[in-house]
C-alpha cells in the first residue's frame, strides 16, 4: 500500500512584488523522493521553496502538509549562499547547532540531545575536525557542507536545497552530489532547485519544470524527463548566455 505524501500542492499561485507568477504545476513529495526543480530565473523556484517552508503565503491554491512536517523545524533548508553567510562570525559547530533553533523555541540553551544531533551531523558530513574553525575561513565547498550539516542538525524527513552547487569548483560539486545521494539513500526526501542537468535527468529523480512548458513528471513513467535549454537559461546573469526563448526574449514570443 503506497504511503501518504509528505506534502501535496494543488493550484498553487504566488505573487512576487506586484506581479503574480504563473500557476505552479500540481505536484507532491512522497517519503524518500528526490525532486529536482528547474526553470529559468524569474520562474518562481526560490519563491516556491519559501512557500513550502511557510515563509511566504500562496496567493491561491492549497499546500497540504503531512502531520510529520507540521512541527517546527521539521523541514531542513539549505538556502543559496550569500555574502552574509560567507562572513558569518561564528565557529563551524555554532553554525551547525543553530539548525536546532526552530525547535529550541525560547530556551536560551541547547539540550544534550541537540548537541548530540549537531555532532552527528558534523560527523556525517565529514567536517567534525573543523568544528572549532571560524566559518568565514572555510572554502566554498566546506561552507556548503557546514550549511548542509546545519540543515540536518535535527532529524528531518524533508530537505529543501536552493541551488546548492552554485559557486563550487568541479571537485567540490562532485563531492557534494555524493553527499546528497548518501543522505537520500538514508531515507530523507529531498527537493532541490538546480541548474545541474545531470542531477535533473538522473534515474529515479522526479522533475518539476517551471517557466515555459511547466510540468511535473514522476520518475518511472516510461519516458525520459523533458529538459529544454530555455528551462535552464539564466537571463544573462553569467551562468549562461541569454537565448531567444520566451523567458529571455518576451518580445519574440508569439
**Quick one: cell of 129?**
575536525
* Statement to judge: residues 14 and 116 lie in one domain: no
**CATH number of the structural domain spanning residue 251:** 3.40.50.300
Q: How big is the CA angle at 4 (ends 213 and 154), to the nearest 5 degrees?
A: 95
* Statement to judge: residues 163 and 246 lie in one domain: yes
* Statement to judge: residues 144 and 238 lie in one domain: no
* Statement to judge: residues 20 and 111 lie in one domain: no
- The secondary element (H helix, E strand) that includes residue 161 is strand 158-162
What pLDDT does 105 receive? Answer: 58
Quote the domain boundaries for residue 54.
Answer: 1-74+158-172+189-254
Residue 23 DSSP class: P
* Statement to judge: residues 168 and 47 lie in one domain: yes
Question: What number of CA atoms fall less than 13 Å from residue 252's CA on the CB side?
Answer: 8
Position 241 in a domain: yes
CA dihedral of residues 51, 8, 225, 248 (deg, nearest 10): -30
Yes or no: say if 160 and 75 are a contact pair by the CB < 8 Å rule: yes
Distance CA 149, CA 145 (A): 6
Three-class SS state of 157: coil
Yes or no: say if 248 and 41 are a contact pair by the CB < 8 Å rule: no
What pLDDT does 223 receive? Answer: 56
* Statement to judge: residues 139 and 215 lie in one domain: no
Tens-place pLDDT, residues 88-102:
778 999 999 888 776
What pLDDT does 134 receive? Answer: 92
What phi and psi, each to the nearest 5 degrees, are found at residue 252? -90, -5
* Statement to judge: residues 162 and 245 lie in one domain: yes
What pLDDT does 139 receive? Answer: 87
Yes or no: say if 152 and 95 are a contact pair by the CB < 8 Å rule: no
* Statement to judge: residues 118 and 164 lie in one domain: no
Tens-place pLDDT, residues 195-224:
887 788 888 899 999 987 899 999 875 555
* Statement to judge: residues 165 and 235 lie in one domain: yes
* Statement to judge: residues 193 and 136 lie in one domain: no
Q: Please list the ranges in the chain whose pLDDT falls under 70.
A: 1-2, 82-87, 102-108, 221-254
Closest alpha carbon to 13 in 55, 54, 44, 53: 44
Position 182 in a domain: no
> Into how many domains does the chain fold?
2
Amino acid at each position: 500500500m503506497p504511503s501518504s505524501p509528505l506534502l501535496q500542492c494543488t493550484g498553487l499561485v504566488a505573487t512576487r512584488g506586484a506581479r503574480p507568477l504563473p500557476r505552479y504545476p500540481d505536484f507532491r513529495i512522497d517519503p524518500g523522493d528526490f525532486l529536482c526543480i528547474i526553470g529559468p530565473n524569474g520562474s518562481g523556484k526560490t519563491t516556491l521553496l519559501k512557500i513550502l517552508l511557510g515563509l511566504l503565503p500562496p496567493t491561491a491554491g492549497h499546500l497540504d502538509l503531512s502531520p510529520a512536517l507540521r512541527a517546527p523545524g521539521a523541514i531542513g533548508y539549505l538556502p543559496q549562499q550569500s555574502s552574509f553567510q560567507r562572513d558569518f562570525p561564528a565557529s563551524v559547530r555554532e553554525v551547525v547547532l543553530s539548525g536546532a533553533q526552530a525547535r529550541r523555541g525560547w530556551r536560551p540553551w541547547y539540550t544534550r540531545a541537540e548537541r548530540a544531533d549537531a555532532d552527528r551531523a558534523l560527523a556525517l558530513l565529514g567536517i567534525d575536525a573543523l568544528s572549532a574553525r571560524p566559518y568565514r575561513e572555510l572554502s566554498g565547498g566546506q561552507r556548503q557542507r557546514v550549511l548542509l550539516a546545519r540543515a540536518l542538525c535535527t532529524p528531518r524527513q524533508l530537505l529543501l536545497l536552493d541551488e546548492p552547487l552554485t559557486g563550487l569548483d568541479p571537485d567540490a560539486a562532485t563531492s557534494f552530489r555524493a553527499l546528497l545521494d548518501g543522505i537520500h539513500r538514508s531515507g530523507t526526501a529531498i527537493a532541490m532547485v538546480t541548474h545541474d542537468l545531470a542531477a535533473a535527468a538522473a534515474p529515479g529523480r522526479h522533475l518539476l519544470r517551471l517557466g515555459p512548458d511547466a510540468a511535473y513528471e514522476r520518475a518511472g513513467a516510461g519516458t525520459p524527463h523533458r529538459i529544454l535549454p530555455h528551462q535552464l537559461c539564466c537571463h544573462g546573469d553569467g551562468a549562461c548566455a541569454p537565448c531567444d526563448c520566451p523567458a529571455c526574449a518576451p518580445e519574440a514570443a508569439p
